[in-house]
Amino acid sequence: MVAAAAGAGTQPGAAASSPTWQAVVQKRVLNLPVKNGAAKTRLAVSLEGRVVEQFDIELADGRPDFWVGLDAAAWQAKTVLVTAGGQGGPAVSRGLAAIRQGDALEGADDLYREKLRPQFHFSARRGWLNDPNGLVYYKGDYHLFFQHNPFGIQWDNMTWGHAVSHDLMHWEQCPDAIKPDRLGTVFSGSAVVDWRRTSGFQSGPSGQSGTEWPIVCTYTSAGNPFTQSLAYSNDRGRSWTKYEHNPVLGCVAGGNRDPKVVWHAPSKTWIMALYLSGNDYGLFASPDLKHWTQLQRVALGQECPDFFAMPLDGNPKDLRWVLTGAGGEYLVGRFDGRRFTAEAGPLASPFGYAAQTYSDIPPEDGRRIQVAWLRGGTYPGMPFNQQMTFPCELTLRSTPAGPRLYRMPAKEIELLRARTHSWSDVPLVPGENPLAALVRDLYDIEAEILPGAASEVGFHVFGTRVTLKAGDGRIKLRMLVDRTSIEWFRDDGRESHAFCYLPAPGSQPLELYAKGGAARIVSLVVRQLRSAWPSPAGGQ
C-alpha cells in the first residue's frame, strides 16, 4: 500500500506546519515535478528518522515543465518522508502532493529525442551540467563524472553525476555518484585507479580472483571552508563510499578547489594539482591519497587544473609535463616528482572550459583523451542544460615557437558515420552552395580550400556563420556539427574552438560560401552522422 499526502507527518526537528509527503516505497523512482521560475523550496528526504537527501528545487504546484527522479532502488518497502523547509504554503503542499512513484523517470518517452538535445555530445538526462570530473578508464569502461544539479536546469545542488561508455560515443547515465554531505556540496575533482593498493581501500585479498582494484575520487567539499575529500568504489564504479576521515586536505588558501590527482611512477608518489587563489595552483604529494604535503606554487590561471605527462612528437623517451587551467591556458615543462619547471608558456588553447583528460588509459592505447564543458548554450523549453565537448585526442608537437598542444576529434567518431558526400578540385563561386541538397543536422566535415580571389570563405550552419581565415594561403579544416553545437579544428588541430548555437527557424542546414570572388575546393568530405543515443533522432 502506498500512502501520500501533504501534511502527513514531519521531519524530526521540523516545524509542525512544514508541508510533507510520506509513502512506503514500492517503485524504483520518486518523480518530483519541476516548474522553471517557481520559488525554490528546500526539501529533506528522511528514511527511518535519518535525513538521506537535502536539495533545493523549483517545485511545480500545477502542470510541471518536466519531472526529475530520485533513485529509490535502495529504499524498497521502507517509509520515506519528504519535508519542505519553512512554512511553504499551499503551492508547496500541492507540489509535494504531486510526487509520483514509478519504475522509470516520468515523461521519459521523449528522452534524448527532444528538439534541442545534442545527439553526439554528452548531456545530462535531466538538470544542469558543467565541469567534467573524474575522467578515468577501468576494465573497458570510460567513466565520465560531471558537476550536476539533478533537480533543475540552473546551477545548484552541486553533485557528481555519472555516466559510463564502452566507446566514448554511447553513454549510459548511472545514479549520481557523490552527493552533498555535512562538509558541503561536491565541487570538481578527479579519479584514478589505485593499481598499487596504496590507499587501503581495496576489499578482499590482493590478487584474489574477481577482486577489483579501487577507483578513488578526490573532490572538493564546498563547505565553509573548502576542503578536499575522497570517495572510492570496489565494484567498477557502480557504487561509492566516502572516506570516513574526510577531509584529507584542509583549507590551504582562499577557495582552494578542483584537485587533479595523477600517479608519478619514477617517485612512486601521487601528485595533486589544486587551484589555490588568485592565479596560483599548488602541487602536492602523497604516498596513499590520504596524507598530502605541499611541494610548490605555480602561477597560471584560475580553477580546474589538469596535470599530465605527454611524449613530445610521439617519442616516449622525451616526456614533457603539461599543466592546464580552466580557461585553456597551459604550461609545458619538466617534473621530477618534487618540482615542476616550465619551459614554455603560459600559452592559450581555448576549447570549452575546465577541460580534463582521462587517467589510466591502457599503455597499448596510449592516447591522451580530453573532454571539456561546452558552456554558454541556452536550450529553451528543454529539461536539461549545457553539454560536454566531443572527446578529443591531444598530441604535443614541436613547432618553431616551441612545443604546442594539438587537438583532434577522437577516432571513435567513425562509429557514428553514415552516408558520405565528397567533392574535389571544383570552384566555389559566390551565390552557389554545393551543400544545398544536404538536409540533416549531424555532420563530420573535412575541408581543404584555396581562398583564391574570395574576400571571405565560410560555412553557414542553420543560420550560424563560421568564417574561415587562410593562414598560409590554404584553409584546412575539420568541423563537427551537432544539433546545438559546432566544433572546428584548424591545421591538424593546432587551433580549435567549440561553441553552442540555436538553429534559426527555416534556415538552410548547411552552406559553404564564398564572397567577393571565386575560391577553390581542393577537397571536401561531408559525413552524415547517426545519433549516439538509443533512440536516434536525426542524422540518419
Per-residue b or e along 36-60, where b marks 16 or more CB atoms closer than 10 Å to that residue's CB:
eebeebebbbbbeeeeebbbbbbbb
Q: How many CA atoms lie within 13 A of 71 on its CB side?
A: 11
Name the grid cell of 504. 534559426
Q: Is the peptide bond before 225 cis (omega within 30 degrees of 0)?
A: yes
DSSP state of 397: E
Give the start-end residues of each E strand in 127-179. 127-138, 141-149, 159-165, 171-178
Read out DSSP for 16-28?
A: TT--EEEEE--SS
- Cα–Cα separations (whole angstroms), residue 396 to 309, 365, 387, 393: 10, 16, 26, 10
Residue of 131, 176, 194, 306 with catalytic role: 131
- DSSP run (H or E) holding 92: helix 90-97
Distance CA 524, CA 385 (A): 33
Active site residue 131: yes
Give the start-end residues of each E strand in 287-374. 293-299, 306-312, 315-324, 329-335, 340-348, 353-357, 368-374
Count CB neighbours of 373 within 10 A.
24
Residue 186 CA from chain centroid, whole number:
14
Residues ≥6 apart with Cβ < 8 Å to 395: 310, 314, 368, 405, 406, 408, 493
- What are residue 353's DSSP bridge partners? 373
Reduced to 3 DSSP states, what percent helix, strand and coil does the chain have, rounded to the nearest 5?
5, 50, 45
Strand-by-strand arrangement of the 20-24 sheet = 20-24, 79-84, 40-47, 50-58
Q: Which amino acid, residue 375?
A: R
Per-residue b or e along 137-164, where b marks 16 or more CB atoms closer than 10 Å to that residue's CB:
bbeebbbbbbbbbbbbbeebbbbbbbbb
Q: How many CA atoms lie within 13 A of 379 on its CB side?
A: 26
Q: Are 323 and 273 in contact (CB under 8 A)?
A: yes
DSSP state of 90: H
Phi then psi for residue 104, to 5 deg, are -150, 175
Read out DSSP for 172-199?
A: EEEEEEE--BTTBEEEEEEEEE-TT--S
**CA nearest to 38, candidates 92, 86, 90:** 92
Distance CA 200, CA 175 (A): 25
Catalytic residues: 131
